[in-house]
Amino acid sequence: MLAAVTVTALDGRDHLVRDTALGENCDDGRYQAECGTWVVSASLCEPPGRPCALCECVAQVRTRARAVSGGGRS
């Protein structure tokens, strides 16, 4: 399973942000979601929105690829 958190962005969609992305960009408060959308830490206060279909698709592809390759982190 993809280690990620759901962040509601200003576009009203819930985006998946990998836990590694949260650690990489902690200085400026901007995080890149799986679909490429940039979200800001202020959006962590937004109520849940509709799931981002592209983030969900990327997460499924990564999970399947990891299963095929033997379970390593991608």
CA distance 73 to 66: 7
Is 71 within the bounds of a domain?
A: no
Calculate what percentage of the chain has a pLDDT beyond 90: 22
Q: Which long-range contacts (CB under 8 A, 24 or more apart) does 23-32 make?
A: 31/7
Asked whether the predicted pLDDT for residue 67 surpasses 50, the reply is: yes
Asked whether the predicted pLDDT for residue 57 surpasses 90, the reply is: yes
Is 74 within the bounds of a domain?
A: no
Task: Indicate yes or no: pTM above 0.95.
Answer: no
Is 11 within the bounds of a domain?
A: yes
Each residue's pLDDT tens digit, 30-50: 889 999 998 887 656 777 889
Is 23 within the bounds of a domain?
A: yes
Q: How many domains, in total, are found in the chain?
A: 1
CA distance 12 to 3: 22
Is 72 within the bounds of a domain?
A: no
Domain ranges, residue 24: 4-66
Asked whether the predicted pLDDT for residue 24 surpasses 80, the reply is: no
Is 25 within the bounds of a domain?
A: yes
